[in-house]
Each structure stands twice: as C-alpha cells, then as structure tokens.
A = this chain, B = another copy of it.
Amino acid sequence: MVRVVDINCDMGESFGRYTLGQDGLIVKFISSANVACGFHAGDPIVMDETVRLVAENGIGCGAHPGFPDLLGFGRREMMLSSREIRASVIYQLGALSGFAGRYGIRLQHVKPHGALYNMAARDYRVARAVAEAVACFDHRLILLCPAGSEMARAGREVGLCSASEVFADRAYESDGTLVRRSEPGSVIDHPDEVAERVLGIVMHGRVRTRDGGELKVSPDSICIHGDTPGAPALAERIRKVLLDFGVSVEPLGGFLRC
C-alpha cells in the first residue's frame, strides 16, 4: 500500500506595497496552493505572479475566496445573504481563472478563507451557497474543507468532490473544531511538536485535542501556514518527515477519488 497526502498552504496574500508570506520558498515544499483572489488579500499583480509560481512548480492551484474585507484580512465574520456569497465566490473564482488560463493550468480546488471558511464549516446556509457557487462555476473543482463539516455535506449535495484537511499547526477542540486564534495555545509553533502531530495524523489517523483526548482523522491534505517567519523551514520539515516515513506528497487532484 502506498500512502499519499497533499500539503496545502495559503499563498498570494501580499497586496500592493505590502508583502506577506514567503511564497517563493514555501512553494518548494507544498503540493497545493490556496491563492487569495483580491477580496481579503491579493491584487491582480500578486495573483498573476502567484499563479505563475504555482504553475512553474507544478503544484495544484486552488482558489481561496474570502469576504470583501481587506482591512480585516477576511477574518471578521460578515452577514452576507446566500446570493451575495454565491456571487462573491463566482467573481473570485473567475478572476483567478483568468490568470490560470494565462499560464496554461486549470484550477484544482477551492478553499474558502478565514471567516468564510469558519462560517461555511459550521453553518449549512453559508456552506450551501459556497458549494453552489463552486459547482456552477466548474463542477470538477475539489472543495477543500474540514472532514464532517457542513461544507463537506453541502459539497456532497451539489455533486462536488470534496477533500478533507487537518491543520498541522493549530490546536483542536474535542469536537473537531479549531481552538480560536484568540485563545492561548491555539497555534502550535514548535517544529518538533508540529512534525510529531503530522506523523500521528498521517500514520495513525489521530490528533491530540486540547483537553488531552484524541480525534480520529483521515485527511486528504495537511494545511500549513505560510505567514510566520519560520514557515518555510517548518514546511520543509513536515515534507521531509512524511517522505522519511514513506508518505508521498502530491497534489489533491492527482490521487483523490470521488
């Protein structure tokens, strides 16, 4: 048996004069990129450069649509109607696709960003609007979301192939949700601990929760973060530990069966 998993990371989060992340480094260690689409981060030039980088490195190109809130980096919940969500997601998918076409690639997946991701994970109405937008834009797109979430359910209902992800560097509650960023211990930054968690997730199908229990997981993708100073080194470490244990790291589109 061959184990295979995807590593996904947000990319293209710079904006104009503002640089965020170390995309040029991190792209070497991941297999799928979630590219910001200009609403919560990213701008046309950043998107163009990011898609080119993704294409040159042969990794999966995903859209990372968010709320229209650059100031809040898409992390503030906004109460949008289903129509507003649908139209906003289609707009962002279309915009990113323009650049994908330029570099001869197709979008592989969609992963909502920040507050939109969190709301779609737990709120069926939001999840459904996101899933409908993705399906109507291109029904071959993979919806990347938490296992067992409302988003996974909505994706299934509209006929999308969905992939599940686990966060390598975020603490989990016993119910499978992420510990909120505002709470202490929500982000795990020690490389050894992250590497150990990744192995536990991929090799044993489990991750320890904040209260000391264990969560069963079987992710298609490991999510890592790219906007911390040590992110490239951490990504390299995670990739190496997986390869060392015989796990192949590949883009979702290459191995996912729906």
Residues of A within 8 A of B (CB): 13, 15-18, 20, 38, 41, 43-45, 47-48, 68-73, 75-80, 83-84, 86-88, 90-99, 101-102, 115, 136-138
Contact = CB atoms under 8 A, between A and B. Distances in A.
The oligomer's copy count stands at 4
From A16, A70, A102, A137, name the one whose CB has the most chain B CB atoms within 10 angstroms: A16
Contact of A79 (B83, B94, B101, B115): B115
Nearest to A92: B95
Contact of A17 (B41, B45, B86): B41
B73 A71 contact: no
A141 to B, nearest CB: 12
B98 A16 contact: no
B84 A45 contact: yes
B99 A94 contact: yes
Given A78-B78, A84-B45, A115-B79, A16 B73 contact: yes
Contact of A87 (B44, B73, B75): B44
A71 B138 CA distance: 26
A242 to B, nearest CB: 29
Nearest to A227: B17
A95 B73 CA distance: 20
A102 B76 CA distance: 26
Contacts of A43: 71, 87
Given A17-B41, A18-B18, A45-B83, A102 B90 contact: yes
29 contacts: A13-B17, A16-B70, A16-B71, A17-B41, A18-B18, A43-B87, A44-B84, A44-B88, A45-B87, A48-B86, A48-B87, A68-B69, A69-B69, A70-B70, A72-B80, A72-B84, A76-B78, A76-B80, A77-B78, A79-B115, A91-B98, A92-B95, A93-B98, A94-B96, A94-B97, A98-B137, A101-B137, A101-B138, A102-B137
